[in-house]
Amino acid sequence: MDKIYMNQLSFYGYHGVFTEENTLGQRFLVDLILELDLEKAAADDELEESVDYGEIYKSVKKIVEGKPVKLVETIAKAICDELLESYEKVFACTVKVIKPDPPIPGHYQSVAVELRRGRNE
């Protein structure tokens, strides 16, 4: 299966378990891997045979910048569900939601959750 990668999509949301996260908000980064057949798109050079990256971005933005939830797991699942429901050419997707600055003690680059979902799973 062919893949489209969309890396480090950046958003600002109000998700989290702690009150400060829901009040102040924070950055969220999203990495996507979309699995689909791109043979016809490559041969015909037509967007209709692939997916519109701009539309994918808007779909993800609506979720990440939308109604606050507690867990990044919930955000990742909502993105997977939306991509598989709205983009029929996408056979499977891997979604990684990254919190670069979570309010937890310690030294680290980020925390993240990654889910992979497919149409037959």
> Annotated catalytic sites, by residue?
99
Tokens of 32: 């996507």
DSSP H or E run through 118: strand 111-118
Decide if 38 contacts 10 (C-beta within 8 A). no
Copy the structure tokens of residue 42. 């490559």
